[in-house]
C-alpha cells in the first residue's frame, strides 16, 4: 500500500510503498477513504512535539480518518455491530482501558495513550489497523471527505464548547468570542449556535475570507483584528454587542498575539477554553485572572461519545463543511500550504 511517512524530522514526508499491516484479534483493518490535514501534521514533521514526546521514525502521518471496514479481527465482539463495508470514523486517543481516565470514557487523555498518525500507522496510508472500540459508525449518506475532518477539526471545538456550556458560561445574556476561523473555528461557530443557549457569537480573525465563512455559518458579529490594538477591538465589540468584554472564549488558534488579545477582552468570571496550538507558550498578566476570578480550560481533542454526538449532528444535516480536496501525491505541497496559512477551511486527502 502507499503511505506518507516521516523518516527524518524537518524533512518532507516520503511517499512510498509499504506492506499492508496485519491486525490483532481485537482490531479492524480500515481501508482509508479520506484523511483531513491538520496543522499538527506539519508541526509533528517540524519537531513541535519532540520536547513532549519524541516519537521514533518512521511515522505514518494523518489522524483525521474516515473509511470502510475491510477486515474484522476474530476477537471483535459481535455486539459492536461492525460489518465489512461499514462506513466509519476513527476516534482518536486509544487508551490503555484501565486507568481512571479511560474508565470515565476519556481515553484521549490516558497517560498511556496511542494516536493514529503519531506512530507506525496513520491516515495518509491506504489501510490502518484500529482497535474495534475506537471505530464509530457513520451514516452511509455522509461523504467520506465530510466524515474525516469531523474526527478532529469538527470534534475538538465541540468538546471545548461543551466545557464552556457545562461550566455555566453560556446563555441568552452572554457574549461568546471565537478566536481564529480556520479548520476548527468554522465548526466552532456552528456549535456555538447549537449549544450556546442563545449566547451572542462573535468571531475574531485576521483573514476577511475566513470571517465571511464565520458570518455565513451563523456568527452574529465578526471583527477583523489584523493591525488593531486590543482597545480598538474592544470598541468594535462594544458597538456590536453593547459590551466591551467577553463572557466566554473558545480559542481555536492558540497563537501568542491572539491569546493576549483574548485575555484582554475576557470579563469578570469569564471562561476561556483553548483548543489551538499555534504557539507553545502563554504570556499574559496574572492579576486580572485572579481578581476577575477567571477560569482557563484546556480542552484536547475529544472522546468516543463526543465523536458519536458530532456524527449524529452531521447525519441530521446540522453541520456544514468548508473543505478542499487533494490527492495523495500532493501531500507535501499541501503541508506547505498549511504552514503558510493559505488553506481556507480544511484540506482533505481522498483516495
Question: Which pLDDT band, with edges at 50, 70 and 90, does 267 fall under?
Answer: very high
- Tens digits of per-residue pLDDT, 295-317? 999 999 999 999 999 999 999 99
Cα–chain-centroid distance for residue 110? 18
CA atoms within 13 A on the CB side of 81: 6
Q: Are residues 141 and 30 in the same domain?
A: yes
Mean pLDDT to the nearest integer, 25-40: 97
CATH of residue 114's domain is 3.90.180.10
**Dist CA 254 CA 269 (whole Å):** 21
Domain hosting residue 241, numbered range: 156-298
For residue 315, count other CB atoms closer than 10 A to its CB: 14
φ, ψ for residue 341 (rounded to 5)?
75, 25
Of 102, 80, 38, 106, the residue nearest 299 (C-alpha): 106
Q: What is the pLDDT of residue 280?
A: 85
**Dist CA 102 CA 305 (whole Å):** 12
Q: Are residues 269 and 324 in the same domain?
A: no
Residue carrying C-alpha cell 455559518: 217
Q: Are residues 208 and 226 in the same domain?
A: yes
Mean pLDDT to the nearest integer, 115-120: 96
Report the domain count for the chain: 2
Q: Are residues 271 and 318 in the same domain?
A: no
Q: Are residues 57 and 126 in the same domain?
A: yes
283-288 long-range contacts, CB within 8 A, separation 24+: 283/256, 284/259, 284/260, 288/263
Among the candidates 298, 315, 330, a domain finishes at 298
DSSP symbols for 179-196 = E--STTHHHHHHHHHHHS
CATH of residue 185's domain is 3.40.50.720
- Tens digits of per-residue pLDDT, 154-174? 999 999 999 999 999 999 999
Q: Are residues 139 and 222 in the same domain?
A: no
Amino acid at each position: 500500500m502507499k503511505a506518507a511517512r516521516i523518516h527524518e524530522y524537518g524533512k518532507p514526508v516520503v511517499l512510498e510503498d509499504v506492506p499492508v499491516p496485519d491486525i490483532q484479534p481485537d482490531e479492524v483493518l480500515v481501508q482509508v477513504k479520506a484523511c483531513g490535514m491538520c496543522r499538527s501534521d506539519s508541526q509533528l514533521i517540524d519537531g513541535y512535539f519532540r520536547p513532549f514526546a519524541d516519537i521514533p521514525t518512521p511515522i505514518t502521518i494523518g489522524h483525521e480518518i474516515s473509511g470502510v471496514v475491510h477486515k474484522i479481527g476474530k476477537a471483535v465482539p459481535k455486539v459492536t455491530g461492525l460489518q465489512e463495508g461499514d462506513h466509519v470514523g476513527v476516534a482518536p486517543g486509544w487508551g490503555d482501558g484501565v486507568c481512571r481516565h479511560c474508565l470515565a470514557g476519556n481515553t484521549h487523555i490516558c497517560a498511556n495513550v496511542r494516536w493514529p498518525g503519531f506512530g507506525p500507522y496513520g491516515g495518509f496510508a491506504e489501510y490502518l489497523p484500529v482497535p474495534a472500540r475506537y471505530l464509530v459508525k457513520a451514516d452511509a449518506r455522509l461523504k467520506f471527505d465530510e466524515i474525516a475532518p469531523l474526527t478532529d477539526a469538527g470534534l475538538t471545538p465541540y468538546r471545548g464548547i461543551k466545557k464552556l456550556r457545562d461550566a455555566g458560561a453560556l446563555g441568552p445574556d452572554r457574549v461568546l468570542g471565537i478566536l481564529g476561523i480556520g479548520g476548527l473555528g468554522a465548526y466552532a461557530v456552528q456549535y456555538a449556535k447549537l449549544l450556546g443557549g442563545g449566547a451572542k457569537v462573535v468571531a475574531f480573525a485576521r483573514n476577511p475570507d475566513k470571517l465571511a465563512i464565520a458570518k455565513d455559518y451563523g456568527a452574529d458579529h465578526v471583527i477583523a483584528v489584523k493591525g488593531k490594538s486590543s482597545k480598538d477591538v474592544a470598541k468594535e465589540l462594544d458597538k456590536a454587542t453593547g459590551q466591551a468584554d467577553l463572557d466566554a472564549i473558545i480559542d481555536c488558534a492558540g497563537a501568542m498575539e491572539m491569546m493576549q488579545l483574548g485575555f484582554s477582552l475576557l470579563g469578570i468570571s469569564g471562561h476561556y477554553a483553548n483548543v489551538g496550538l499555534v504557539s507553545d507558550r502563554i504570556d499574559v498578566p496574572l492579576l486580572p485572572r485572579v481578581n476577575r476570578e477567571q477560569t482557563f480550560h484546556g480542552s484536547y481533542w475529544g472522546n468516543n461519545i463526543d465523536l458519536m454526538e458530532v456524527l449524529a449532528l452531521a447525519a441530521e444535516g446540522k453541520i456544514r463543511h468548508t473543505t478542499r480536496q487533494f490527492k495523495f501525491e500532493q501531500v507535501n505541497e499541501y503541508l506547505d500550504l498549511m504552514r503558510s496559512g493559505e488553506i481556507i477551511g480544511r484540506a482533505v486527502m481522498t483516495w
